[in-house]
Structure 1
């Protein structure tokens, strides 16, 4: 007796087949001469062929990278292509249309569909099978394709003469033939998994299997096309290994460096709604966004294992309080510009509390406004001696003198408040090395962030950056500002009976 889940699965695909049939009407009054002429015109232009035979998939104008990719695989019978296209960029759908185009134009004949498991490979192959069974336009132009006795979920051969076989990692592909023909086209899709990528030996073994067992099923005298679809979900994975060996490793993110969608079908509003709710809070983590949509596995940090929220003591009870500013010379909010950060950190009973965070792409004027907000926060919470520092090494000094100082003066004139910002001119070590020094305190629960700020989008970004800290991370401005505040408290800010004093701490070790 079939399982209930199997019945639902079959019902879902039955609906899918019916929808394919309904979406592909044909002209029954077309003459044979007209049909042949139309088919020839379609086969001469892959994009028109896709649009005619796959109206359910070809629902939007393709992006330039789509067309270039198809041109490469159509014009190069011997080709290895790795497509690290973001989710929502139709890499599997376009590959399917290309595979069927190459099959019906008799450029490829014997296909392997490879995935992490055989079940996954069969699921990837199922749309092909259903289209061949139910697409009225394909049936009208190329004939009925289903062959009784050669039509299984894991392997089928069409009446037109081409075949597909599904294989999971590690299965033997040996003996795959269609009559005397060996595989001349291989699709590898969704092969890497998070679990596998945490084990380098498994990654190597599965990649070796592709190179030593799958690809050698080919015939030496027949060109082989290999298309590998997958995001870069880990620094060491099958995609990164095969990408280096490919004729073309096509890396396309959801948006370009300026934040513009790489496919116009996905509007900026749609993209934002995918990541944030109506209140501006993230629906998925920055780590997941970067890995799945931006081919950036370095967003999955290996330094800080937790971002601890907790109740902060009243700010006035802290032994030390420091506001630290991490500026950047950019003066725009473009996606590829550096972030700016302002943090308020307090030390109480050996624990460092992150009370407030301002973090993001901002103009220099907005950053000074954040410093003003930090000043007011300290004022409201009874902090009279306000210790505020801004990072300003020798390379940053021209920007500070020419841009930031005039803006601080402008703020004084407009608000009647002189922001007591002091320069932190220390020569600092490498950013990652400095952040790594906080790992023990973080692991021991000595770094705590204000639970009242948990819903603040800027604190959410701080959490994303914090958990994403690694040697290859590109966004660590928030954690860097926190480290600056912590270091100032540990080395330069001293509390005495009269308030705060600032300066080097005298060594009394000897």
Structure 2
């Protein structure tokens, strides 16, 4: 009989399995000479302490001390025989790893007899169940204390029954969960992990169909009169998703329902607030995720991705500025003049809690506003002034250029005492004609002003970002701030505010440059019908 050749996917899966098994064996060393009395004493001691049990039997997964919210979540699921919980936890908070340990302890101690693990696909469900299967197969500490778990018959990663008496089955969303009895035991633990997908969440009807399957086909497999634990693991990735529906359900059944929303950083662990958690929160699990590590990783992805994956806050990108137009900027010499406009955010540091500073080089031609080049980042005041210098050097005298800086009454002391001395210092040191005028015009509400003055221009294709700067991180940040802009100002809008301020100064200058129109008195007399 010919042997089936392994595909690349098969080889990759085999390699992953071998690495997982090696890790479990390496971290589950035992003393073979332990007596039955010693084993029973150890089991009794560890079973009385969930965290100690996890740390001993799952040493490979228990790499960091848990946070308080981990321990509280475990106490709830372990101590309630009938329970419905949603853990909307950020990425990097060990949702799945903790659930594996909890299920395993409940199974080995006889508290549960029939587990269903549900995910967005059968393959993903099997992948999530694999750590349980591997530990039941190869974990020497589990085997020494609870006996060999591998049972004759079906012993596959997607479905297996341990000698402890508990069965496990991986099911993809939409598959039939019928016929899942373990002897006479109906499912008494359902773990729904990673149920939502980005693709499905773009179509609310598909989400509703999946939720209907969860409520009508899956959950009714449990016993009305028996024990049942239902646990959702995931995070809120869309305005309509199964995790949000599960949260609503859990809140509607307060006797057995609980919702735990944990962001990667929080101001108050009991009160999730994604906007303020993002701005002012601290790591909820500092034992694993340091502030520096979080800063570094989140800097790799867009703000919208950060909020969706780490703050349970799916952002509607393009709520007001749906798309930004990139195009070639005309030769600078074709502009009558250019404006460099800056928004000096408070703060003299680069920490994530400081606001972004912004300086933009702008020009207007044939009714189109061009963002020729911009700087948008957190930085020092000296760096902020240096951006003006760089933009002047970029223009290189090819066209008259006016430099402005936002300067309301509250900002004026800072403008006079901090920025003006910095400007004078730069003029002396770099021998450059840098003169920045404070924009003291009284402005209306920031959000309304940006929407009213820039959105119509953008909608008509008259707000242009320089295509030559499309890959520049500063221009990318400006585009992102435009797309994330809302009238609620949920996210920084320093870049759009700078563009609006610069556009206003350009319009004022263009009006001032227009020649005045003189109407002769004779013409006015002719138009006056009441004159004799």
TM-score class, shorter: 0.7 to 0.9
Q: What's the counterpart of residue 485 of structure 2?
A: 469
Report matched runs for 1:205-224 at 5 Å: 205-224=209-228
Q: Aligned equivalents of 2:491 and 2:265: distance in 1?
A: 17
Q: Which residue of 2 aligns with 1:29?
A: 33
Correspondent of 2:371 among 340, 354, 361: 354
Paired with 2:345 and 2:249, the residues of 1 have a C-alpha distance of 38
Q: Is the 8 A contact 1:315 1:381 kept in 2?
A: no
**Which piece of structure 1 moves more, 416-425 or 115-124?**
416-425
Segments of 5+ residues of structure 2 without an aligned counterpart are: 251-256, 267-276, 428-433, 516-532
Q: Counterpart of 1:165?
A: 169
Q: Separation in 1 of the partners of 2:81 and 2:441?
A: 60
Q: Is 1:14 aligned with 2:18?
A: yes
Give the alignment partner of residue 435 of structure 1, picking from 430, 437, 451: 451
Question: C-alpha distance in 2, partners of 1:329/1:38?
Answer: 59
Relative to the length of structure 1, the TM-score reads 0.83
Q: Tell which deviates more after alignment, 189-198 or 238-247.
A: 238-247
Map 1:9-158; keep pairs closer than 5 Å. 9-158=13-162
Separation (CA, whole Å) in 1 of partners of 2:164 and 2:29: 21
Which residue does 2:315 correspond to in 1? 298
- Where 1:61 maps in the other structure, the secondary structure is coil
> Of the candidates 278, 285, 289, which is equivalent to residue 266 of structure 1?
289
Q: Offset of 1:34 from its aligned partner?
A: 0.7
Q: Is 1:344–1:374's contact at 8 Å kept on the other side of the alignment?
A: no
TM-score normalised to the size of structure 2? 0.80
Cα shift at 1:136: 1.0
> Residue 506 of structure 1 aligns with which residue?
none
Cα drift, residue 139 of structure 1 = 1.1
Match of 2:239 in 1: 235
Contact 1:320/1:495 (8 A) holds in 2: no
Q: Which deviates further from its counterpart, 417-426 or 256-265?
A: 256-265
Alignment of 1:317-336 (within 5 A): 317-319=334-336, 321-326=338-343, 328=345, 333-336=350-353
CA–CA distance in 1 between the matches of 2:463 and 2:186? 60
- Separation in structure 1 between the aligned mates of residue 47 and residue 470 of structure 2, nearest angstrom: 56
Partner residue, 1:250: 260
How much does 1:42 deviate? 1.1
Q: Output the CA distance in 1 between the equivalents of 2:46 and 2:510.
A: 78
Greater Cα shift, 408-417 or 141-150: 408-417
Kept in 1, the 8 Å contact 2:340–2:401? The answer is no
Aligned length: 485
* C-alpha separation in 2, matches of 1:415 and 1:154: 68
What displacement does 1:333 show?
4.9
3-state DSSP of counterpart to 1:492? helix
Q: Indicate if the aligned counterparts of 1:111 and 1:164 stay in contact, CA closer than 8 A.
A: yes
| SS across alignment from 1:297 | coil
Quote the residue 1:447 is aligned against: 463
| Conserved? CA contact 2:333–2:399, under 8 Å | yes
Would the aligned equivalents of 2:324 and 2:479 in 1 still touch at CA under 8 Å?
yes
Structure index of larger Rg = 2
Is 1:193 the equivalent of 2:197? yes
- Partner SS for 1:100: helix
Question: Which stretch has the larger CA shift, 131-140 or 154-163?
Answer: 154-163
C-alpha separation between the residues in 2 aligned to 1:390 and 1:270? 34
Q: 1:109 and 1:369 mapped to 2: Cα distance?
A: 68
Displacement after TM superposition at 1:304 (Å): 3.9
1:346-397 Cα shifts (integer Å, max 9, x gaps): 112443221232323456x4586367547845874455451625274xxxx4
Unaligned runs of 5+ in 1: 277-281, 500-510
Moved more, 140-149 or 323-332: 323-332
Q: Structure 1 residue aligned with 2:411, among 400, 408, 432?
A: 400
SS at match of 1:188: strand
**Following the alignment from structure 1 to structure 2, what is the Cα–Cα distance between the partners of residues 4 and 436?**
58
SS at match of 1:79: strand
SS in 1 for 2:72: helix
